Chain A
Amino acid sequence: MTIHSRQRLVVVGNGMAPGRALERLFEQMPEAYGVTIFNAEPRVNYDRIMLSPVLSGEKSFEQIVIHGDGWYINHGITLYKGAKVTRIDRAAHTVTAEFVPTDSLGHVPLEPTVTVPYDRLIIGTGSNPIILPVAGRDLPGVLTYRDLDDVNAMLVAARARGSAVVIGGGLLGLEAAAGLTEQGMDVTVLHLMPTLMERQLDPAAGHLLQRAIEARGIKVITRANTKAIVGAGRVEAVELDNGARLPADLVVMAVGIRPNMQLARDAGLAVNRGIVVDGTMRTSDPEIFALGECAEADGQVFGLVAPLYEMANVVAAQLCGDGAARFRSSATATKLKVTGINLFSAGDFAEAKDREEIVLRDATRGQYRRLVLKDNRIVGVVMYGDTADGPWFFDLLKRDADVGEMRERLIFGQNYAGGIPLDPSAAVAALPDDAEICGCNGVCKGKITGAIAGLGLKSLDEVRAQTKASASCGSCTGLVEQLLKAQLGDGYNPAAVQPMCSCTELGHDEVRRLIVAKALKSIPELMQELQWKTSCGCAKCRPALNYYLLCTWPGEYVDDSQSRFINERVHANIQKDGTYSVVPRMWGGQTSARELRAIADIVDKYDIPTVKVTGGQRIDMLGVKKEDLPKVWADLSAVGMVSGHAYAKGLRTVKTCVGTDWCRFGTQDSTGLGVKLEKFMWGSWTPAKVKMAVSGCPRNCAEATCKDIGVICVDSGYDIHFAGAAGLDIKGTELLGHVATEGEAIETIAALAQLYREQGRYLERIYKWAKRVGLEIIRQQIMDDTERRRALYGRFVFSQQFAQNDPWAERAQGKDAHEFAPVARLALAAE
């Protein structure tokens, strides 16, 4: 065999293992082989480990793609998407594939099959999910959890927000259950064994996990034996052998996988539990390799990514002529990818006579660590709660290191065990160049340090973009940052995050990210989880946290009025003498004789000293005594007037001109649009106040071009402006874009407001947010990305259903009465 002429390498399967093998092959011998790949799925290679974040909505498919189309083109690979190989003709050295009928290919192939010759063949057909042999398993609504199609089918099913039953309480089953819960389904997990994930966890950690899963509202039934899936025409329920019947609109089977070896068996290759390979990853036909979940090496089949990538390295080395490369199975570590639940397990933790164990348990804090030792060497690790030391224990396990010296402190982890540098960057600096830093993307230390030096990288984002290290699950982010720090010293400035306040080191964006990632739903929980330095925060962070939680969990988070500034707590503006000002809403700046008469009566009745017209086209009553507020509001409510939120970090006014109603220059109904916008958007809380205006023509009488959001009507439609200011700073608006109809204008403005609500830091006005994030990026997300805009709009609409309760009417009827009256009146002559 020579490699002077290009050999033909055909790959069956386009999963992570063959993808990795090709990457390694191209790194070493980019020109040696002409490669053809057959993928039964109609898409490129993606990170299957990250399907759970796609299901839960934390990531999109684009974010988990490993090799985009460009990679295949750059390497001259012929990729057949949606083509399932049906036959290997070993005598003729050919494979034949059938095109899977699918719409998403966008075309109908001219030929139904294709036959391609090979010199070398790689089989990476992966595995199939196990389907329980119960009645009803074929009913519509019964799914497995294996690929993107399954995830998409689940996402469609979840839209109906019904009940789901997940059969299988292993890694995949629990991730599916958590994802479906995130999508709003009512989920029950059935597990045959007494504790969850019993293959990776001991019973103690299994119970902790069950408790955490149940705390998310997922029902868990252990020792559950599924008898049948029932339904007329589609799934309706799952029946257990104890007679229980669980209603279900969706059933997900996640009970395990089975190597997919039909093709190899048909070709006459040796198969057992999987396709049998030797240490060089060759099958019984030396020209054919097998790797991944379909391969059986050393009598074992594998399902976790680390050994599969190891197989890929061996296949690549063999293809490059390194006949000495051999696959050795090594211990693997498991992490559950359910946000907010941290567990880690590795090795073997069954009890045995010659084994000892060290256990650290703190049930209240949900902490559990168990190390299994044999001859002073770690053979098993189970961790629940704080898993930061997992990789360190795992490294000791893999290296078979003698831990006798540090046994007493070992369980407390790397920082306390001694013998290891306390400085984390020193520990990272001591790693060899071939130490793997990012397991998801297989990036070793040398590649990262090489890229930092060679390309002059300065930030985490740049390293992610150039090497993909820490770009997938992100659990190695800390290590990558240590490498940057070790190499750049003071030149590495981790974004110079400004802490929210002196109660924390975290910045606003970090806190918002963690609220989502850790599903934090109350201020005490957040302060506990994010290790606030004060017992209950301060006047700076509490209102910010209250807003972030309210914005992130609409309808779910219970507003903490004690964390609101007084104006928002009593829904009026405090004045310098402790009295309040009251500004009722006048939609689009329009009012009526009835409203004006009511205001006049109220001013007389409550002896209100000052009445003033505001800059936002409404009327301010100043000097109202606090105890009079509920009575004033009751009188305003009686004529249908509601709070103008003149005190709120929220939508204030929508100023308008008279537009086509009256003005001879008006091009559109600017008053009408202003009223519609105000009626649609009032009540929404935002990071800082939002003032809007709609002008009926470019003469701009409503002064829309210095507002947070402004509309200038023109003949052809509506110019939408944003990021203006006319206060501390004076700044004209920027043009967001042009839309033709009133409906589009409303959708666009609501989407913009929602983006600001989600990204703006507390007290950061729109113009400052836009400057920080970038005008162009905002324009792209709102104007160019239709799907994004619709999603933002949808979230705004969803949130509004909980926001539009007139706080004045509520308080006129007695809500928060304690805010408005003294708790006691003490007279001089106490009786």
Chain B
Amino acid sequence: MNAMDRPWVEICVLGDIPRRGCRVVQAPRGQIAVFRTAEDEVFALDNRCPHKGGPLSEGIVHGRLVTCPLHNWVIGLADGEAVGADKGCARRHPIRLDEGRVFLSVSVIGSEEGKT
């Protein structure tokens, strides 16, 4: 299937990600953390805390937030921004949930410019 034909790539079904949890997608340019909240919303961020690069995928997910396991920075899942006094932003990725299937934008596969 050519990525040009379809802008989304299916990565897993919702049930593969624990509620209030996260799974990692290994992408060419690094790991992407795919979060699932208690309300079954999904979000995708670079798996790197803007503080010292900690793996956000290993943090505790609460509400629409994740707490980084290394130094307890709290990052918003929807915007990737650090909450409170801390300043920094984890890169977001377009993600879509469709009838229980989770899709990432194919841009995550491609080069810096976008699609192949």
Contact of B19 among A538, A562, A822 (CB under 8 A): A562
- Tell me which residues from 816 to 831 in chain A have a Cβ below 8 Å from any Cβ of chain B: 818, 822-831
Task: Annotate B38-51 by CB proximity to A: 1 below 8 A, 0 otherwise.
Answer: 11000000000000
Given A539-B74, A562-B61, A578-B55, is A824 in contact with B39 using a C-beta cutoff of 8 Å? no
Contact A822 B62 (CB under 8 A): no
Which chain A residues lie closer than 8 Å to B62 at the CB level?
534, 536-539, 542
Interface string of A513-541 (1 = CB under 8 A from B): 00000000000000000000011111100
The answer to whether residues A562 and B25 also contact, given A830-B106, A830-B109 and a CB cut-off of 8 A, is no
Asked if A830 meets B23 with Cβ closer than 8 Å, knowing A536-B63, A818-B16, the reply is no
- Interface: B78 (CB within 8 A): no
Interface hits, B28-78 → A, CB 8 Å: 28, 31, 34, 37-39, 52-55, 58-63, 65, 67, 69-70, 72, 74
Alpha-carbon distance A826/B106, docked complex (angstroms): 9
Q: What's the nearest-Cβ distance from chain B to residue A525, in Å?
A: 14
Closest to A562 in B: B20
B54 and A826: CB pair below 8 A? no
Expressed in whole angstroms, the minimum distance between the Cβ of B68 and any Cβ of chain A is 9
Contacts of B17 in A (CB 8 A): 823
A823 touches B12 (CB 8 A): yes
Contacts of B18 in A (CB 8 A): 561-562, 818
Query: What residues of chain B lie closer than 8 Å to A566, measured between beta carbons?
Result: 58-59, 69
Which among A542, A567, A570, A823 is the interface contact of B11 at CB below 8 angstroms?
Answer: A823
Question: Is the beta-carbon distance between A539 and B25 smaller than 8 angstroms?
Answer: no
Tell me which residues across on chain A come within 8 A of B74, comparing CB atoms. 539
**In the complex, A742→B20 CA distance in Å?**
46
B24 on interface, CB distance cutoff 8 Å: yes
A561-B62 Cα distance, complex, nearest whole Å = 13
Closest to B21 in A: A562
Verify A539–B26 contact, CB threshold 8 A.
no
**Interface bin, chain B:** 35 or more
Known: A574-B69, A818-B16, A824-B11. A535 touches B28 (CB 8 A): no
> Is A543 among interface residues, defined by CB-CB distance under 8 A?
yes
CB-defined contacts of A534 to chain B, threshold 8 Å: 62-63
A543 to B62, CA, bound (A): 12
* Chain A residue with the shortest CB-CB distance to B28: A828
* Most central of A570, A576, A578, A818 by chain B CB within 10 Å: A578
Residue A563 CB within 8 A of the other chain: yes
Binary B-proximity of A542-585 (CB < 8 A = 1, otherwise 0): 11000000000000000001111111011000101010000000
Q: How far is the CB of B26 from chain A (nearest CB, A)?
A: 4
Report the bound CA distance from A534 to B20 in whole Å: 14
Residues of A within 8 A of B3 (CB): 830
Q: Once bound together, how far apart are the Cα atoms of A818 and B59, in whole Å?
A: 15
Contact A574 B109 (CB under 8 A): no
Of residues 220 through 249 on chain A, the ones whose CB sits less than 8 Å from some CB of chain B are: none
Q: Which residue of B lies closest to A577 (CB)?
A: B53
**Which residues does chain A contribute within 8 Å of B39, judged by CB atoms?**
535
A538 — which chain B residues lie within 8 A by C-beta?
60, 62-63, 65, 67
Taking a contact as CB atoms under 8 Å apart, the answer to whether A825 and B26 are in contact is yes
**Chain A residue with the shortest CB-CB distance to B27:** A826
A578 touches B54 (CB 8 A): yes
Are the C-beta atoms of A822 and B67 separated by less than 8 Å?
no
Contact A823 B60 (CB under 8 A): no
User: Min CB distance, B41 to chain A, in Å?
Assistant: 11
Whether the Cβ atoms of B63 and A826 lie closer than 8 Å is no
* Chain A neighbourhood of B58, CB < 8 A: 566, 569-570, 574, 578
The interface residues of chain B lying within 8 Å CB-to-CB of A564 are: 60
A6 to chain B: closest CB distance in Å? 71
List of B residues within 8 angstroms of A535 by Cβ? 38-39, 63
Docked-complex contact B28 and A827, CB < 8 angstroms: yes
| Interface flag for B85 (CB, 8 Å) | no
> Could you say which residues of chain A place their CB within 8 Å of the CB of B11?
823-824, 826
* Max chain B C-beta neighbours (<10 A), residue from A570, A576, A830: A830
B60 touches A822 (CB 8 A): no
Q: A578-B55, A830-B3 are in contact. Are A565 and B60 (CB under 8 A)?
A: yes
B60 touches A543 (CB 8 A): yes
- A selection of 6 A-B contacts at a CB cut-off of 8 Å is A537-B62, A566-B58, A818-B16, A828-B109, A830-B9, A830-B109
Q: What 20 additional pairs, Cβ within 8 angstroms, besides A562-B19, A823-B25?
A: A534-B62, A539-B59, A539-B72, A562-B21, A562-B61, A566-B58, A570-B58, A578-B54, A818-B16, A818-B23, A822-B24, A822-B25, A822-B26, A822-B31, A823-B17, A824-B11, A826-B11, A828-B28, A830-B9, A830-B109
Measured CB to CB, the residues of B under 8 A from A are 1, 3, 9, 11-12, 16-21, 23-28, 31, 34, 37-39, 52-55, 58-63, 65, 67, 69-70, 72, 74, 104, 106, 108-109, 116
